Structure 1
């Protein structure tokens, strides 16, 4: 009886641990709007596609200090901000991310 209970607890813990890692890098909801002053601090973005544990498509913007915002890729302001970042990168060349930022993963 004790073995069955212990086995069940270990199995439950393992399932929970695996489920948590599935959603680590996924956006679960969108930020509706980012102010103009905050948009100026956006240095890169990456796109989230709907596969595996990620249930919604998103564009994830990374700010200068490493903070990230999940946004709806269908919004006009999101597309405009992506174009602005692409122009900055093309003009300045691809800069290495700072210590707090993750590299661009396309």
Structure 2
């Protein structure tokens, strides 16, 4: 009987550790692909660089309608640099 109780406690402890180990993970909104085509200036409202934890590094533009467009990094694309400069002026 004591063996069964000890085994149950061991299983419960291991399940607790498994469940609590994942609580530090943060869901990230990462780009899955990059749009190489220039985004028209009239559509762009803001930008940010992708989260450092994402596999694909990108510039993420937010449109006036709230959509996200993943574009190349500024150092990789002249149109991205120009659009960022225009947005920074505002």
1:32 equivalent to 2:32? Answer no
Who is 2:59 aligned against? Answer: 59
* Shift in CA distance, 59/4, structure 1 to aligned 2, threshold 3 Å: same
Who is 2:43 aligned against? Answer: 41
- List per-residue Cα deviations over 1:76-105 (Å, max 9, x = no partner): 322222123234x1xxxxxxxxxxxxxxxx
* Shift in CA distance, 36/62, structure 1 to aligned 2, threshold 3 Å: closer
Whole-angstrom CA distance in 2 between matches of 1:4 and 1:70: 47
Who is 2:3 aligned against? Answer: none
Who is 2:68 aligned against? Answer: 68
Unaligned segments of structure 1, at least 5 residues: 90-106
Number of residue pairs matched?
82
- Say what the alpha-carbon RMSD is for the aligned residues: 2.8
Whole-angstrom CA distance in 1 between matches of 2:71 and 2:15: 38
The Cα shift of 1:29 comes to 3.7
